[in-house]
Amino acid sequence: AIQAAYDNASEDTQSEIVGAVFGDVIDAMTAAQARGAPLGPEAIRDLIRSTFGGIDPMGAMMGMEGDDEEDSDDSGEWLTDDGEDPEEDEEDEEDDEKEDDEEEDEVDEEEVLATGPKRRRMLRRPQTGVSSGSGGQNPVSEEATPQSTFKAAVKQLEHDTGGCYLPLARVELPSDVKEITASWVLASAKHLLVPRMVGNVAVKLSGQIKQTTINWMGGGTSLGNTVWNQYMLPHVSQSRKFLSQQKWHEAFRHLLGMHLFAVWSGGDWIQDQEVYCDYPIFSGWFMHYGDAWRQLLGQSDEDLGLALEGGIPGGYRETLKESLARWERQTNGLLRDTFDEFREDESKARVRIFTSEENSDDDDEEEEEEDEESDDDRNEGDDGDE
């Protein structure tokens, strides 16, 4: 009942629901403390489980426990109006469970949620966009919004293609919801459409790193260290292992998840960290990451699922390569300007998915010459002013 109300609520009401639910956890903790019960991490976790009837909500919300690999936990900002994400509700089992819950706990416009020692009143917004039992169609209700219609169109596209839609640019939504169809989604913005098992796991990995970044309470350097040690280093190793076993989809999931986060983060995790103090490990990550992508891109579109039927003509190889090449250029510039001075006798830290070491060195020399010329021009200007 809580999940059904949450899914159909506005953003403000969703916040109220979360506050109400965890208010009950706080009540339980206060009562336990009054009884003199210990409140260590495990005890608090047990209290949460008991409050939610045996469910571990923290694990479920963060996608850390109790989730199949097919599920996704997307934290990306897709839409221009309110940043809502298209729903990732692919599993028939989850749909059946939600339908059962809704049948058992039907509610009207005002629904009373009993979630522990106190009962709190919540307003439930009628669901818009896709109606259940539509036979795969996406009828637009009178209350449909561009956002809900976009979600429905994405869901229909993913249903028809067996893929996972990953936008690489912000989507400008038209005001007329009738224009928003699966075909419109394909033409609206640069995106990838990859096999569901690849995309969902990649989005989940990217979302976990994003949530770690967003919720971090410490400093930037400690966050950078955590991103490297908890995610980037282990997942590159995992990707290389899968590649050695010729498990292309498994390797694709990890590499794509890291790429989605790297594009989203803007390079802060590279610039502010202490991993570079062990320069061979630092530079080795970029070498292994580039090698892994090169090996993966050496496989066919059929093996990787880059040309799903129902996607854009010609498939998504060039779109993926363009996104990787842009990140490679930006990252190599950051590495050259920030970390080359620390390398001593070690090789330069560079991403080499599309550029060879010779070409990369030539680019570095050209950029250094341009920088020197710019400095000379500025000096001449200063002399003239004097």
CA dist 318 and 292 (Å) reads 17
pLDDT tens readout for residues 273-284: 999 999 999 999
- Residue 133, Ramachandran bin (φ over 0: left; ψ between -120 and 50: alpha; else beta): left
How far is it, in rounded angstroms, from Cα 304 to Cα 350?
25
Q: How many other CB atoms are there within 10 angstroms of residue 323's CB atom?
A: 20
Q: How far is CA 75 from CA 15, 202, 207, 222, in A?
A: 16, 12, 5, 22
382 or 329, which is more confident: 329
Residue 52's pLDDT band (boundaries 50, 70, 90)?
low
pTM of the model: 0.61
Instruction: Please check the confidence at residue 62 and state whether its pLDDT lies above 80.
Output: no
CA dist 156 and 141 (Å) reads: 16
**Residue 114's beta-bridge partner residues?**
119
User: Is residue 24 predicted with pLDDT exceeding 90?
Assistant: no
Pairwise pLDDT comparison (22 vs 381), residue with the higher score = 22
- Quick one: pLDDT band at residue 71, thresholds 50, 70, 90? very low
- Check residue 12 and give its pLDDT: 63
The whole-chain average pLDDT of the chain stands at 75
User: According to the model, what pLDDT value does residue 144 have?
Assistant: 83
Percent of the chain at pLDDT > 90 equals: 49
Q: What is the pLDDT of residue 70?
A: 41
125-184: pLDDT as tens digits: 334 443 333 344 444 455 789 999 999 999 999 999 999 999 998 899 988 888 899 999
pLDDT value of residue 378: 46
Residue 337 pLDDT > 70, yes or no?
yes
> Which residues, 6+ apart, have CB-to-CB distance to 14 below 8 Å?
6
Closest CA to 165 of 197, 193, 198: 193
- Grade residue 345 by pLDDT with cuts at 50, 70 and 90: confident
Query: What's the rounded mean pLDDT across residues 92-105?
Result: 46
pLDDT value for 111? 31
Q: What is the dihedral of CA 261, 265, 267, 270, to 10 degrees?
A: -60
Lowest mean pLDDT among 8-12, 99-103, 258-262: 99-103
224-239: pLDDT as tens digits: 999 999 999 999 999 9
Give pLDDT, residue 55. Answer: 45
Lowest mean pLDDT among 30-44, 219-233, 277-291, 321-335: 30-44
What mean pLDDT comes out for the span 254-261?
98
